[in-house]
Amino acid sequence: MTVRAAFENARAEGRAALVGYLPAGFPDVAGAIEALRVMVDAGCDVIEVGMPYSDPVMDGPTIQAAAQQALEGGVRTRDVLHTVEAVAATGTPTVVMTYWNPVERYGVTRFAQDLAAAGGAGLITPDLTPDSAEEWIAAADLHDLDKIFLIAPSSTDTRIAMTTAACRGFVYATAVMGVTGARTTSSDLAGPLVTRARVATDLPIAVGLGVSNGDQAAEVASYADGVIVGSAFVRVLLDHPDDRAAGRAALLALTEDLAGGVRRG
């Protein structure tokens, strides 16, 4: 299934899609795959596999801690691709979220080829903008990979139009000014940003703003096509470092809560 098809299926059911994120290699490679499969089974419609990076300037402390643990465990790009392959085999669209430097180091054309071969659906590039992405856009188009760029409340209407025109799959609306992380309240910037983006594109628009429970997911699902959750999933596993079974059980409960939320929205 494609990413776009996952969003269309959710819309046909009268709900938003749930997009779940975990870094590859956290708590280790096998553990991340197990956790992501739990998230798929419990209701995630699209999976983001994070590429751990040594300088994650846009990530909050929760995801930074998980990425650091993965890096200390020796995770490499091949492990990210292996994780994508394992999750994509479930039939759930699986994309990689990564800073641009690791892709450049690996080789842009080679990365696109290997991601496609692993069954990956595309790439989310938080620090790469379409006007600097000529090589990636060409490689993605060659291998039929989704190009998912970010828009923010600070984006001008012209910038939103340019960015969404370059996207395929969905548009990532980051509605929190600053680093990522779970929050206790929703951002009042998200709704207006989605409204502005809808003027520019008919692609699905998914919002990431630190959602950590089903009620927040329902709120975001009332105006967005997708609800992106990352830090809350990571936090559950960080809270159970010595008991993986308990961590998976907590992850299952959280995913079910969030999946219920997007259906209420």
Is 59 noted as a catalytic residue in this protein?
Answer: yes
Beta-bridge mates of residue 247: none
Please state the separation of Cα 238 from the chain's center in Å. 19
Of the residues 59, 79, 114, 225, only one is catalytic, namely 59
**Side chain identity at residue 47, one-letter code:** I
From 44, 80, 86, 73, select the one nearest 241 (Cα to Cα): 73
Which residue stretches of the chain are H helix? Answer: 3-12, 29-42, 61-72, 77-88, 100-106, 108-117, 134-142, 157-166, 190-200, 214-221, 231-238, 244-264
263/16 Cα distance (integer angstroms): 7
Query: Which residues are CB-contacts of 155 (< 8 A; sequence separation ≥ 6)?
Result: 163, 193
3-state helix, strand, coil in the chain (%, to 5): 50, 15, 35
Of the residues 45, 48, 114, 225, only one is catalytic, namely 48
Residues serving a catalytic function are: 48, 59
